[in-house]
């Protein structure tokens, strides 16, 4: 998943008058600054990230330049990824504006993965007014290229068996891992596309890109990428959820499922010697739309019954706001701490 022209999009949200103007976020065009990002109006002038700000000004003298506001972007980014985790809990965030989502955890096949991806786009837009593009594929390298294929706001699904044919027409520089040095070796040899790199015989590959790097890049060009997701070891929340085979309307049954999940969450808290101040109930409807309801306490808790009671109340509140059968429910706790404050009941 890749947010579209992230810095520029945030600046346009903060100042809507910038939407129709060529906007460049970056350094001083009269100095040695570079373009961090440009909106799509500015990109029509050939302006792109990492270009010198002076060159961007030469190409578009009437462009609006703003200096980056990283604290603001971090706040938007945090909101985006919290929203995404409400739909796809397992992900590898590779930057403020991009990351890999483990759709296999929430979708049974690629058709369902498309529906989940559309739900991610809808949720991000509803929560932040930002747009994102997604590429769905069996491996990282293909997903990365696919995410850039239909920007802005695009969704491209590459099903198993189509990886190499999808990549083949792209310029070789579009393949992640092919930098300026590799490009300088490949182009003079007539390797202009990803497909041409994929077709290189062993002898030519060793001559042009010696060592393991060449083998890895040719594998990627063929849509072969064994890398898995990498995760931050720091855990800021604990949750349990369940996707049902059929959508469920029975409120009593849903309460029982939430209490079972609350026991799992409480057991995890006990093992970690932690308490939590915030309890969240997650609801996913049959159309994959997500609703979550949270409550925060003055003191931390680790009691399964207390967590279960709160989770059930939050479910009832969510279903009052939007009635309907549920495809998934989940319980999560956050605001984790190491010390348990004594309550009157404990005394």
The per-residue pLDDT for range 14-59, each reduced to its tens digit, is: 999 999 999 999 988 888 788 999 999 999 999 998 899 999 999 9
Residues 6 or more apart from 177 whose CB is under 8 A from it? 141, 213, 216, 217, 220
pLDDT digits (tens, 9 = 90+) for 222-261: 999 999 988 754 456 788 888 888 899 999 999 999 999 9
pTM for the whole thing? 0.69
State the CATH architecture for 2-68. Answer: 3-Layer(aba) Sandwich (3.40)
- The residue length of the chain stands at 347
Fold of 237-337: Dna Ligase; domain 1 (3.30.1490)
Residue 230: what pLDDT? 84
Residues 6 or more apart from 109 whose CB is under 8 A from it? none
> Per the residue annotation, which of 55, 82, 92, 98 is the catalytic one?
98
Fold of 164-221: DNA polymerase; domain 1 (1.10.150)
Q: Compute the Cα dihedral for 255, 257, 259, 261 and give only its sign.
A: negative
Tokens 């989502």 -> residue: 101
Q: H or E element: which one contains 54?
A: helix 53-59
pLDDT digits (tens, 9 = 90+) for 263-319: 999 998 988 888 999 999 999 888 767 788 999 998 899 999 999 999 999 999 999
The CATH number of domain 71-160 is 3.30.70.270: yes
User: In terms of DSSP bridges, do strands 132-136 and 155-157 run parallel, antiparallel, or are they unpaired?
Assistant: parallel
How many Cα atoms occupy the beta-carbon half-sphere of 262 within 13 Å? 25
3-class DSSP state of 315: helix
Beta-sheet strands, E only, within 183-315: 237-248, 275-285, 290-301
Domain boundaries, the chain: 2-68, 71-160, 164-221, 237-337
Query: Rounded CA gap, 13 and 42, in Å?
Result: 17
345 is catalytic: no
């Amino acid at each position: 998943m890749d947010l579209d022209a992230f810095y520029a999009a945030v600046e346009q949200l903060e100042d809507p008058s910038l939407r129709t103007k060529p906007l460049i976020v970056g350094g001083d065009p009269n100095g040695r600054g570079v373009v961090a990002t440009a909106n799509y109006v500015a990109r029509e002038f050939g302006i792109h990230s990492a270009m010198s700000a002076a060159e961007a000004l030469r190409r578009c003298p009437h462009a609006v330049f703003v200096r980056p506001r990283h604290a603001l972007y971090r706040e938007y980014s945090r909101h985006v990824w919290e929203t995404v985790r409400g739909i796809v809990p397992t992900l590898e965030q590779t930057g403020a504006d991009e990351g890999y989502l483990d759709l296999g955890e929430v979708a049974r096949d690629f058709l369902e993965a498309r529906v989940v991806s559309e739900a991610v786009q809808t949720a991000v837009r509803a929560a932040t007014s930002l747009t994102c593009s997604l590429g769905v594929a069996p491996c990282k390298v293909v997903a990365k290229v696919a995410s850039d294929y239909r920007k802005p706001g695009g969704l491209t699904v590459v099903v198993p068996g189509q990886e190499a044919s999808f990549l083949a027409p792209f310029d070789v520089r579009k393949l992640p891992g092919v930098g300026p040095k590799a490009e300088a070796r490949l182009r003079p040899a007539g390797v202009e596309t990803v497909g041409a790199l994929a077709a290189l015989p062993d002898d030519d590959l060793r001559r042009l890109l010696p060592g393991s790097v060449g083998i890895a890049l040719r594998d990627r060009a063929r849509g072969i990428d064994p890398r898995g997701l990498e995760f931050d070891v720091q855990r800021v929340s604990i949750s349990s959820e369940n996707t049902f085979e059929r959508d469920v309307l029975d409120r009593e049954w849903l309460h029982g499922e939430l209490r079972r999940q609350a026991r799992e969450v409480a057991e995890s808290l006990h093992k970690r010697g932690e308490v939590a101040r915030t309890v969240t109930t997650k609801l996913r409807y049959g159309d994959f739309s997500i609703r979550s309801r949270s409550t925060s306490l003055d003191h931390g808790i680790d009691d399964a019954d207390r967590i279960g009671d709160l989770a059930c109340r939050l479910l009832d509140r969510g279903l009052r706001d939007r009635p309907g059968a549920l495809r998934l429910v989940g319980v999560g706790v956050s605001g984790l701490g190491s010390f348990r404050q004594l309550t009157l009941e404990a005394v």
